[in-house]
């Protein structure tokens, strides 16, 4: 049942778009891929796209999904995805496109806009006809009800010869017939103004990028990636923890169903930690009903930090701190 409600798996490996070369940012633009990763691989990311109709609000955000560098690297290492320089790939394809291909793409967008406009007009006409039908039925019922009430309450006056007196000035008049309501005229689709269509992605225009790019893996801090990978392997969901002054918020299940249990911060084994950070983190975690978790690779494995493969075969140790005097 759950499988039938979810999206199908994308073609693997799928591309992850790197938007900036100077500041590494990684994005996904496919709703099916985002849903599949959240359900099957506990990858959350952060939605950063605004709504097309309300672009200035930041409460309800949509596609694209920005991945944390740790999430992007984990997906690449597991063979689920690969990194693509989004700007270079788009520029290369646009330069190779012919004028006919560009015009065909614009024509497809115009056709899509016309289809949307026709569907909107048809829906509006159907709603008007239904409303008119309801009004006509209501008027007919009201008219019948008035006639029945008048026939029961109006007395019959007889003159001396037992003849009915004609209509007088004070006798109730017959109910007026409600004017007929004309159905709305059908709008001709011959001269319709198409809607403006802004594609949310360029998948229809661009082919899938090659699966053998020469881009480097996402740059991550050694201790941060080791802790992220350890918690993710233990089936936790991790999201950015900037709201609570930590690196990761750690959830036992999907954040739509569970509250986070830990405020996670990474550190190297031989890294000095200020006592104020320990006290502040412990009090903060206890104050929001969470545990403050600090962890990183152990000292033996930490000697291989320069090998270029953080998180590979490492033993990660973590500790939880809670404030007992609150």
Q: How far apart are CA 31 and CA 49, in angstroms?
A: 12
Residue 247 makes CB contacts below 8 A (sequence gap 6+) with 224, 227, 240, 241, 264, 265, 266
Residue 259: active-site member: yes
For helices 69-77 and 222-233, the axis angle rounded to 10 degrees is 70
Q: From the candidates 26, 251, 261, 289, give the one annotated as an active-site residue.
A: 251
CB 258 within 8 A of CB 235: no
Prior bond to 76 cis, omega within 30? Answer: no
- The DSSP bridge partners found for residue 14 are 81
Chain-centroid distance of CA 15 in Å reads 19
Residue 82: active-site member: no
Q: Would you mind telling me the total number of residues written for the chain in this entry?
A: 326
CB 294 within 8 A of CB 321: yes
Q: From the candidates 41, 102, 126, 259, give the one annotated as an active-site residue.
A: 259
**C-alpha R_g of the chain:** 34
Residue 61 makes CB contacts below 8 A (sequence gap 6+) with 47, 48, 49, 50, 51
In this structure, is the dihedral angle defined by the CA atoms of residues 69, 72, 76 and 82, taken in order, positive or negative? negative
**DSSP notation for 279-312:** HHHHHHHHHTT-EEEEEEE-HHHHTTGGGS-TTS
Phi, psi (rounded to 5 degrees) for 26: -125, 130
- The DSSP bridge partners found for residue 238 are 43, 250
Which residues are annotated as catalytic?
251, 259, 290
């Amino acid at each position: 049942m759950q499988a039938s409600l979810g999206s199908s798996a994308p073609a693997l490996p799928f591309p992850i778009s790197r938007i900036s070369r100077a500041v590494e940012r990684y994005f996904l633009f496919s709703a099916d891929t985002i849903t599949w990763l959240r359900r099957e691989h506990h990858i959350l990311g952060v939605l950063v796209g605004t709504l097309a109709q309300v672009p200035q609000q930041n409460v309800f955000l949509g596609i694209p999904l920005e991945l944390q560098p740790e999430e992007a690297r984990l997906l690449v290492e597991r063979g689920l995805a690969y990194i693509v320089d989004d700007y270079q790939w788009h520029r290369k394809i646009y330069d190779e496109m012919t004028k006919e291909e560009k015009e065909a793409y614009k024509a497809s967008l115009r056709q899509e806009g016309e289809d949307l406009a026709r569907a909107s007009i048809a829906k509006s006409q159907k709603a008007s006809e239904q409303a008119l039908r309801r009004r006509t039925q209501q008027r007919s019922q009201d008219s019948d009800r008035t006639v029945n009430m008048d026939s029961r309450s109006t007395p019959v006056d007889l003159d001396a010869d037992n003849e009915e007196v004609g209509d007088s000035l004070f006798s109730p008049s017959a109910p007026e017939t409600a004017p007929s309501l004309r159905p709305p005229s059908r709008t001709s689709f011959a001269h319709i103004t198409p809607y403006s269509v802004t594609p949310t992605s360029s998948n229809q225009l661009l082919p899938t990028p090659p699966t053998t790019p020469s881009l480097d893996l996402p740059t991550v801090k050694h201790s941060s990636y080791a802790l992220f990978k350890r918690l993710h392997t233990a089936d936790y969901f991790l999201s950015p923890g900037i709201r609570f002054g930590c690196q990761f918020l750690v959830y036992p299940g999907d954040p739509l169903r569970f509250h986070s249990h830990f405020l996670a911060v990474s550190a190297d084994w031989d890294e000095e930690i200020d006592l104020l950070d320990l006290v502040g983190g412990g009090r903060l975690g206890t104050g929001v009903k969470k545990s403050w978790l600090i962890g990183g690779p152990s000292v033996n494995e930490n000697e291989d930090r320069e090998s270029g493969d953080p998180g590979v075969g490492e033993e990660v140790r973590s500790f939880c701190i809670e404030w007992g005097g609150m």
